[in-house]
Amino acid sequence: MRKANDPSISSTSLPKYLEHLSGDGKAIGVLTSGGDAQGMNAAVRAVVRMGIYVGAKVFFIYEGYQGMVDGGSNIVEATWESVSSILQVGGTIIGSARCQAFRNREGRLKAACNLVRLGITNLCVIGGDGSLTGANIFRKEWNGLLEELAKNGEIDKDAVQKHSYLNVVGMVGSIDNDFCGTDMTIGTDSALHRIIEVVDAIMTTAQSHQRTFVLEVMGRHCGYLALVSALACGADWVFLPESPPEEGWEENMCFKLSENRARKKRLNIIIVAEGAIDTQNKPITSEKIKELVVKQLGFDTRVTILGHVQRGGTPSAFDRILASRMGVEAVLALLEATPETPACVVSLRGNHAVRLPLMECVQMTQDVQKAMDERRFKEAVQLRGRSFEGNLKIYKRLAIRLPDDKITKSNCNVAVINVGAPAAGMNAAVRSAVRVGIADGHRMLAVYDGFDGFAKGNVKEIGWGDVGGWTGQGGSILGTKRTLPGKNLEKIAEQIRSHSINALLIIGGFEAFHAAAMMGEARNSHEEFCIPVCVLPATISNGVPGTDLSIGSDTSLNVIVQTCDRIKQSASGTKRRVFIIETMGGYCGYLANMGGLAAGADAAYIFEEPFDIRDLQSNVEHLTKKMKTTIQRGLILRNESCSVNYTTDFIYQLYSEEGKGVFDCRKNVLGHMQQGGAPSPFDRNFGTKISARAMAWINDKLKGSQGTGKKFVSDDSICVLGISKRDLLFQPVTELREKTDFEHRIPKEQWWLKLRPLMKILAKYEASYDVSDAGKLESLRHQQGTSHGEPAAI
Enumerate the β-bridge partners of residue 215.
Answer: 271, 304
Q: Where are the alpha helices (DSSP H) in 530-589?
A: 553-574
How many CB atoms sit inside 10 A of residue 283's CB? 12
Residue 33's identity, in one-letter code, is S
CA–CA separation, 35 and 91 (whole Å): 9
State the DSSP string of 463-521.
-TGGGTT-TT--S-TT--B---SGGGHHHHHHHHHHTTEEEEEEEESHHHHHHHHHHHH
Nearest to 386 by CA among 359, 364, 404: 364
Nearest to 346 by CA among 336, 354, 357: 354
Q: Is 236 a catalytic residue?
A: no
Specify the DSSP class assigned to residue 314.
P
| C-alpha distances in Å from residue 114, one per residue of 96, 122, 138, 163 | 18, 13, 13, 13
CA–CA separation, 450 and 436 (whole Å): 22
CA–CA separation, 394 and 101 (whole Å): 45
* 444 touches 461 (CB < 8 A): yes
Which helix (H) or strand (E) is 426 found in, with range? helix 426-439
Residue 694's identity, in one-letter code, is A
Residue 617's identity, in one-letter code, is Q
Buried b vs exposed e over 451-480: b needs ≥16 C-beta within 10 Å? bbbbbeebbeebebeebebbbbbbbbbbbb
Percentage helix, strand, coil for the chain under 3-state DSSP, each rounded to 5: 45, 15, 35
Give, to the nearest 10 degrees, the angle between helix 129-151 and helix 358-373.
Answer: 130
What phi, psi does 500 have (nearest 5°)? 50, 50
**Choosing from 36, 129, 176, 183, which is the catalytic residue?**
176
CA–CA separation, 633 and 373 (whole Å): 53
How many CB atoms sit inside 10 A of residue 172's CB? 34
Long-range contacts of 101-105 (CB under 8 A, 24+ apart): 101/65, 101/66, 101/69, 102/65, 102/66, 102/68, 102/69, 102/134, 102/138, 103/134, 105/141, 105/145
Enumerate the β-bridge partners of residue 347.
Answer: 354
Q: Residue 52 contacts by C-beta under 8 Å, 6 or more apart in sequence?
A: 3, 4, 5, 58, 78, 79, 80
Nearest to 329 by CA among 356, 305, 306: 356
Long-range contacts of 609-615 (CB under 8 A, 24+ apart): 609/753, 609/756, 610/643, 611/642, 611/643, 611/646
Burial of 308 (0-12, 13-18, 19+ CB in 10 A): exposed
CA–CA separation, 179 and 181 (whole Å): 6
Q: Residue 130 contacts by C-beta under 8 Å, 6 or more apart in sequence?
A: 33, 34
- Distance from the first to the final alpha carbon of the chain: 35
State the DSSP string of 712-767.
--SGGGEEEEEEETTEEEEEEHHHHHTTEETTTTEESS-GGGGGHHHHHHHTT---
Phi-psi region of 222 (alpha: psi -120 to 50; beta: other; left: phi over 0): beta
* 447 touches 465 (CB < 8 A): no
Catalytic machinery residues: 176
